[in-house]
Copies of this chain bind each other. A is one copy, B any other.
Amino acid sequence: MDFRSDNTHGASPEIAAALAAANTGTETSYGDDTVTKRLEARFAEIFEHDVAVFPVITGTAANALALAVMTPPFGAVYCHAEAHILVDECGAPEFYAGGARLVPVDGADGKIAAADLAAALDAAGAGDVHRVQPAALSLAQLTECGTAYRVDEVAALAEVARGHGLRVHMDGARFANALVGLGCTPADVTWRAGVDILSFGATKNGAWAAEAVVVFAPALAAEMAYRRKRAGHLVSKMRFVSAQLEAYLTDELWLRNAAHANAMAQRLAQGLGAVPGAGLVHPVDGNQLFVRLPGATIEALIADGFMFYRWPETVAGSTVIRLVTAFDTGEADIAAFVDAATRHGEAAA
């Protein structure tokens, strides 16, 4: 029973089937195939907006490409202090953007507060030749704490950003989970709230390896194709990436998968509520839980064979673990984990 990450899981049967189905005949390579050509219209329909769509195979590539067209090399990208782009991508945004800088802004539950962003930007030295120049804001949906920015929060942050001349990027590695958690439309939490480019993730929610850079601001799309090719992310047999995305968007598979994972997370949260010594560290808005547990309970769960990651923070003297549910996490797995945690917790209490 594996709660380590949603990317330890495989692919949805529907996506596997689509991949197999795409393996017939020959197709023009490098994205001029029939599957890829259908994608842009499908995304436009879902997002209620004209979009340029660039499929890639990792979220890191999607994020780094998006940021590279938003910032000059002497620019700064503002993000949360725990953001994936800052902490977990080995400097990919700096690489793609020619040495631009990521500037951390701290905030509770993985979210930046609009006032904190405003304060950081006011002190940034815009127009001062000695300072890197504020160029973009990057928000994650879900955040690294498993929380989702509400529509009004995104809008307030984007307004601050635009007021200072910044572009807005959304890292949607778990966009479907956030959307289901928020209960809003894709448009509401992206371009309508001021987002210029979305890294639209599918891999963690049931694809093999498929993400899409979705560009709402036409001016930012012009360079993207060249930058993607130059980064080695223009897949020659592109139909096999696009087929994953098409299946993901068909019959609302993306929303169904996310809804299941989120429901499992809620069930887990509820079950752990009764475990002695356990407590949620952050609100659960999607499919990630951050839970503090007594050390003995954690050890016992590991001995039982449950898989999860310890987090590098301590809350109120307790170790924090991260639990991630996925599109195919079984109800039995949830029940087994809760039972075991309860049993070990009571033994320790």
Contact = CB atoms under 8 A, between A and B. Distances in A.
B233 A61 contact: yes
Contact of A60 (B64, B101, B229): B229
Contact of A26 (B10, B209, B225): B10
Q: How many residues of A sit at the interface, in one of the four size bands?
A: 35 or more
A99 interface: yes
A89 B125 CA distance: 12
Contacts of A95: 73-74, 98-99, 230-231
Interface stretch (A1-9, A147-155, A338-346): A1-9
Interface string A112-146: 00000000000100000111110000000000000
Given A10-B24, A132-B91, A56 B232 contact: yes
Contacts of A64: 232
A56 B123 CA distance: 29
A278 to B, nearest CB: 24
Nearest to A239: B10
Nearest to A228: B129
A129 B7 CA distance: 17
A100 B89 CA distance: 13
Nearest to A15: B23
Interface in A303-345: 307, 312
A240 B241 CA distance: 12
Nearest to A243: B208
Contact of A88 (B9, B130, B208): B130
A250 interface: no
A57 B235 contact: yes
A87 interface: yes
A285 to B, nearest CB: 22
Interface of A is mostly: loop
A237 interface: yes
Copy tally for this chain in the complex stands at: 4
A160 to B, nearest CB: 20
A10 B22 contact: yes
Nearest to A229: B90
Contacts of A74: 90-91, 95, 223, 226-227, 229-230
Given A73-B98, A90-B131, A27 B8 contact: yes
B8 A29 contact: yes
A61 B92 CA distance: 14
A342 to B, nearest CB: 24
18 contacts: A4-B29, A8-B28, A8-B29, A9-B26, A10-B24, A10-B26, A16-B23, A58-B233, A60-B232, A60-B234, A65-B232, A74-B95, A87-B131, A88-B130, A90-B229, A94-B99, A129-B228, A231-B231
A-B CB proximity, top 5 nearest: A61-B232, A94-B99, A2-B26, A7-B236, A60-B232
Given A72-B226, A73-B95, A130-B229, 20 more contacts: A8-B29, A10-B24, A10-B27, A30-B130, A58-B232, A58-B236, A60-B234, A72-B223, A73-B91, A73-B98, A73-B227, A74-B90, A74-B227, A89-B229, A91-B100, A129-B226, A129-B228, A133-B226, A209-B235, A209-B241
Interface of A: 2, 4-5, 7-11, 16, 19-20, 22-30, 56-62, 64-65, 72-74, 87-92, 94-102, 123, 129-133, 203-204, 208-209, 223, 225-237, 240-241, 307, 312
